[in-house]
Amino acid sequence: MDIDKAIEKLGLSEWASSSEAKSDKDIEKDMFLCEHELYYTKKEERADADLNQAKDKVKELAAPYKKRKTEQTVKLEYLCQILETRGKSKSST
């Protein structure tokens, strides 16, 4: 992630400028506050019943596609392994 682009995209340019002027001690305090906020945001996210229900539904709906993609990936890797044991590499086929 390009941090400068992320700061601009999130509208944090003013925050970034003021942070650059802070002492190391103040930066460490801000880091603690960010960690604290992140902890509680993740906690709230885990407790969000609607969100978890939606995630479960997406997982359920995506399961057949995920299975088929996994099967095809395994088949491809196995076929490559067979060719490799026969002395053929990807570039020689």
Supply 62's token pair. Answer: 């995506």
Tell me the whole-structure pTM to 2 decimals. 0.63
The residue assigned the tokens 């229900």 is 53
pLDDT for the residue 88? 86
Instruction: Give the DSSP letter string of 28-65.
Output: HHHHHHHHHHHHHHHHHHHH-HHHHHHHHHHHHHHHHH
> How many other CB atoms sit within 10 Å of the CB of residue 55?
11
- Quick: pLDDT tens for 20-59: 999 999 999 999 999 999 999 999 999 999 999 999 999 9
* Neighbouring residues of 93: CB distance < 8 A, sequence distance ≥ 6: 83
